[in-house]
């Protein structure tokens, strides 16, 4: 197709490092399209060296040096129904209102919400299961009407700073049943008549004002749509434009987890441990990048332990995290007797904003909706899907021209710009600059300063720390958040905050966003 943009080809000489040009050892999954039965995904096969990334940032977002672990996580065998068994296949050639590319939580949520609003919607993507274990604040999932998707609840959540300093947050936490969440989101898609095409998207044409764009699928099918939204995960640089990454590179949250049967463990099965920041070994080494333990105790003997590096640049490797986890368990006297599952959690937290003037839309991690200071995005994607879908539907509505009430078909380009403004208005950009400032601060803290930071953070009024974690404090409230943090913090942290604001580029960026983008 002559009209298709090929940014990856454009970049494939000169810009990419040799390793990137050779394909970074990237696995390509071959998808079984014929079977209509409920089946295990264990048969997904891996053939190396096929996919390329548009730049270094995209490569790091996809997994970088940790790519093989990221792929192991994505290819875990699961017993979940096939999407093709639930949704009607899209077989004809008609132009649809919206194509949603990617069948993760963000894609499924957006597709169902858009179809519920009367748009003709096709979901396009490999028919893959949900393999990640999501943890959520119970109240936030209840508010989304998704309480039935929570498979285990802890009535309280704890923070450990030292052996004598444990703080109970007074907030219930839940583990999402990945199969339940996927089933519920698929049910909503089915109910709203979302169509499905099982294929990776390889390319997309430029938007034609009147006829929209055309997706080129690996299956050989072309799909025409008025608008396309990429919900294809963080590494979507092949299709979307992003602001340039700072020279210091991308920061990533990594965590290595194990769900195990143990002889005994020291945690209360009624309390989820959000962060255990006690030393993982006899004493933390000078200058070490901090990590903490995240614990979901299901019973006296069954437990999920995850050694987590909140953010690091360069990335903290899974091997380092695994070593730390076992050193810590040894220190706690925990003996593993059976392993149920290993988990490799890789979340790029330092992604730059998408260009909000581009013609194709994005949602979820592809739209940089991951909270820079926490790594969470799923609740935000699920809760913003209705508003964003409504904005897309409104942007595609024919407009009445004033005198003769002639219906004017909206052109796809202005519809896309309208929708981008709803997803990333200036207010959201200001909030994000604040979270980035927070992320850059966290990247500089050693373990003792990290403890001090979180002791201070959880002393703030509940509305403040909850709002920061949920990213629902307004940019004005975030100024209050900063002032209160400064008031509550000990002098050491105050000095770090001031120095960070003055010296770190994220401080200047924060001031720029707050002054230039103020309404």
Binding site for ligand FAD (CB under 6 A): 73, 101-107, 124-126, 128, 132-135, 200-201, 231-233, 343, 345-347, 364-366, 370, 376-378, 381
Question: Closer CB to ligand FAD, residue 76 or residue 451?
Answer: 76
**Beta carbon of residue 133, minimum distance to ligand FAD (angstroms, whole number):** 6
Q: Least Å distance between CB 294 and ligand FAD?
A: 9
Contact 365, 105 (CB under 8 A): no
Which residue do the tokens 């998808």 mark? 31
Q: Which whole-number Å values give the CA distances from 335 to 263, 282, 300, 303, 328, in the listed order?
A: 6, 18, 13, 12, 11
3 state SS of 124:
strand
> Nearer Cβ to ligand FAD, position 374 or 455?
374
DSSP-derived secondary structure for 326-349: HHHHHHHT--EEEEEEEEEEEEE-
Nearer to ligand FAD, 365 or 443 (CB): 365
Of 219 and 284, nearer to ligand FAD (C-beta) is 219
Q: How far is the CB of 428 from ligand FAD (least distance, A)?
A: 16
CB nearer to ligand FAD: give 256 or 513: 256
CA distances from 513 to 306, 315, 316 (A): 35, 27, 30
Give the shortest CB-27-to-ligand FAD separation in angstroms: 12
Q: Tell me the C-alpha distance between 444 and 479, whole Å.
A: 21
Spatial contact of 90 and 122, defined as CB atoms under 8 Å apart? yes
As measured in angstroms, the least distance from the Cβ of 487 to ligand FAD is 30
Q: Least distance in Å: CB of 60 to ligand FAD?
A: 15
| Tokens representing residue 121 in the block | 């919607």
Which residues are 227's β-sheet partners? Answer: 98
Q: Interhelix angle for 178-191 vs 105-116, to 10°?
A: 20
Q: In the complex, what is the shortest distance from the CB of residue 106 to ligand FAD, in angstroms, rounded to a whole number?
A: 3
**158 φ, ψ (degrees, to nearest 5):** -120, 155
Nearer to ligand FAD, 380 or 500 (CB): 380
CB atoms inside a 10 Å sphere around CB 144 = 15
Closer Cβ to ligand FAD, 111 or 192, answer by number: 111
């Amino acid at each position: 197709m002559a009209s298709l943009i090929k940014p990856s080809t454009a970049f494939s000489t000169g810009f990419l490092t040799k390793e990137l040009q050779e394909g970074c050892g990237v696995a390509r999954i071959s998808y079984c399209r014929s079977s209509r039965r409920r089946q295990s995904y264990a048969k997904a096969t891996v053939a190396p060296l096929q996919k390329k990334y548009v730049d270094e940032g995209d490569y790091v977002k996809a997994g970088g040096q940790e790519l093989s672990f990221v792929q192991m996580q994505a290819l875990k065998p699961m017993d979940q129904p096939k999407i093709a068994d639930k949704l009607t296949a899209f077989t004809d050639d008609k132009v649809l209102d919206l194509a949603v590319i990617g069948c993760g939580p963000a894609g499924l949520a957006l597709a169902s919400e858009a179809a519920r609003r009367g748009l003709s919607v096709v979901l396009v993507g490999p028919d893959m299961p949900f393999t990640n274990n999501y943890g959520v604040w119970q109240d936030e999932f209840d508010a989304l009407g998704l309480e039935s998707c929570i498979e285990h609840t802890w009535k309280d959540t704890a923070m450990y700073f030292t052996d004598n300093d444990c703080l109970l947050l007074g907030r219930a936490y839940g583990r999402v049943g990945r199969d339940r969440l996927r089933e519920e989101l698929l049910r909503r898609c089915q109910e709203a008549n979302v169509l499905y095409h099982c294929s990776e998207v390889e390319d997309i044409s430029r938007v034609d004002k009147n006829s929209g764009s055309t997706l080129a699928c690996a299956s050989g099918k072309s799909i025409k749509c008025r608008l396309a939204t990429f919900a294809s995960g963080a590494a979507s640089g092949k299709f979307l434009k992003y602001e340039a990454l700072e020279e210091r590179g991308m920061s990533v949250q990594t965590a290595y987890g194990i769900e195990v049967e143990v002889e005994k463990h020291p945690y209360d099965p009624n309390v989820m441990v959000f962060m255990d920041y006690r030393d993982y070994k006899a004493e933390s080494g000078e200058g070490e990048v901090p990590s903490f333990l995240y614990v979901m105790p299901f019973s006296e003997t069954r437990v999920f332990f995850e050694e987590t590096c909140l953010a690091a640049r360069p990335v903290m490797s899974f091997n380092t995290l695994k070593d730390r986890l076992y050193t810590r368990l040894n220190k706690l006297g925990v003996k593993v007797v059976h392993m149920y599952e290993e988990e490799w959690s890789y979340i790029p937290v330092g992604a730059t904003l998408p260009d909000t003037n581009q013609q194709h839309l994005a949602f979820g991690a592809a739209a940089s909706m991951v909270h820079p200071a926490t790594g969470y995005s799923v609740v935000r994607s699920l809760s913003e899907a209705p508003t964003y879908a409504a904005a897309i539907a409104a942007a595609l509505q024919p407009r009445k021209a004033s005198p003769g009430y002639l219906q004017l078909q909206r052109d796809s380009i202005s519809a896309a710009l309208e929708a981008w403004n709803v997803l990333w208005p200036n207010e959201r950009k200001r909030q994000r600059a604040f979270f980035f400032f927070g992320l850059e601060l966290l990247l500089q803290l050693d373990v003792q300063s990290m403890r001090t930071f979180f002791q201070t953070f959880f002393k703030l009024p509940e509305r403040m720390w909850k709002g920061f974690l949920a990213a629902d404090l307004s940019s004005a409230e975030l100024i209050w958040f900063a002032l209160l943090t400064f008031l509550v913090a000990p002098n050491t942290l105050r000095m770090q905050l001031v120095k960070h604001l003055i010296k770190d580029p994220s401080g200047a960026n924060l001031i720029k966003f707050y002054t230039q983008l103020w309404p």
